[in-house]
Amino acid sequence: GTRIIYDRKFLMECRNSPLAKTPPSDLPDIPGVTSPNVEELKIENNHVQNCDEKVSVGEEEQFDMDI
């Protein structure tokens, strides 16, 4: 077989292409894999809201830890 070799510059330019940012139209719908899981979206939105609420005038924690 023939190998196709791409240089770094070409690949870096390809990542900005609109085709690279849209998923293929024939992908099956698998929640959590090819489409966001409903529960993951709720957790992500809740996490963003919690982070916004934590901002206070007092001393802030150095790191956010999810336990």
pLDDT in tens, the chain (67 residues): 899 999 999 999 999 999 888 878 888 888 878 777 766 556 656 665 555 555 555 556 666 767 6
What is the model's pLDDT at position 6? 94
* Residue carrying structure tokens 């510059």: 9
Give the pTM.
0.34
Instruction: Tell me how far CA of residue 53 lies from CA of 18, 48, 56, in angstroms.
Output: 36, 9, 8
| CA atoms 57, 63, 32, 35: torsion sign | positive
CA 36 from centre of chain = 10
CA distance 39 to 32: 9
